[in-house]
Amino acid sequence: MFHKNRGWLFRKTWPVTHCVVTNFTVTLWYIFFHWCNRTTVIGKKNVPYQDNTLLLSNHQSMVDSFLVGLSAVYPASVRRPSLLPWNPAAEENFYSNPVLAWFSDNWKCIPVKEGRKDVRAIFKMAEALKTGIMTLFPEGTRSRDGTIRQGRAGAGYLILETKATVVPVCIDGMDKVLPIGSTFPRMFKRIYVYYGEPLDFSDYFEGKRSKEKAQKVMEIVMERIREMQGELKEFQHGGQVLKQEDGFTASTP
């Protein structure tokens, strides 16, 4: 994987340090989301615990990947660390110093260069997907007003290249937990994470890959996430019945 440019000691110890660091970290985040905030998880059973599974979510804060990843696989990941998702991460944020870079590699982060036009990162993501689940935010940047914007074609290329199982995810409330410009997460907020049923893109896998086809795939994904956002809003106001998951539902509307 991308750790080949690391020293031999890192490569030798990574299987152990990754397991320890990630499970310790996600346990802390579980406590934060479960006890310090009120988190409701919906549709967790829509996430298959298998390789080549791609969780595509809207983006509200710097720590969204912890919410989306741990809500999908924790606590099963304690026994099966391989379930912990890969996380493409902005190099300028998560690899800004050696200590943070070490943690990011152990969090299964894949560095993406600023501007997100990083072709090498797409190949790294494709290789990583062969070995597990991945969390990805196709908007490329955080939303400032909650609006779900257009998805970038790079994520569409990744889907076409890997033929991944695509699970749309909609989150809400993370912009209150860690607003843009804030350094420390806030507590006592209400958070929702909603996993939709996997999308079928088999019709798009035939033939030559193109930017137009990749963008069309992303239009379908983002439209479904927008629909889920509407369903989630209706659920929050008591007008929509959505099945909550046992074990991580810390609140009900």
Q: What is the pLDDT of residues 54-105, one digit of tens each?
A: 999 999 999 999 999 999 999 999 889 889 999 998 888 888 888 898 888 8
For residues 166-195, average pLDDT: 95
Res 251 pLDDT > 60: no
Grade residue 144 by pLDDT with cuts at 50, 70 and 90.
confident
Per residue in 193-236, pLDDT tens? 999 999 999 999 998 999 999 999 999 999 999 999 999 999 99
**Going by C-beta distance under 8 Å and a sequence separation of 6 or more, which residues neighbour residue 229?**
58, 148, 170, 172
The CA–CA distances, whole Å, from 181 to 96, 184, 216 equal 17, 10, 33
For residues 48-52, average pLDDT: 97
Q: SS3 of 195, please?
A: strand
Res 1 pLDDT > 80: no
Res 2 pLDDT > 70: no
pLDDT score at 163? 97
pLDDT score at 115? 58
pLDDT score at 93? 83
Res 241 pLDDT > 80: no
For residues 130-141, average pLDDT: 94
Question: Is-contact 158 215, C-beta < 8 A?
Answer: no
pLDDT score at 14? 80
pTM of the model: 0.89
Half-sphere exposure of 24 (CA within 13 A, CB side): 8
Grade residue 120 by pLDDT with cuts at 50, 70 and 90.
confident
Cis, bond preceding 75 (omega within 30 deg of 0): yes
CA dihedral 116, 121, 122, 128 (to 10 degrees): -140
Res 250 pLDDT > 60: no
pLDDT score at 26? 86
Name the E strands within 36-157: 38-42, 53-57, 87-90, 109-112, 133-136
Write down the mean pLDDT value for the chain.
Answer: 89
User: Using CA atoms, how far apart are residues 57 and 65, in angstroms rounded to an integer?
Assistant: 9
pLDDT score at 156? 96
pLDDT score at 117? 62
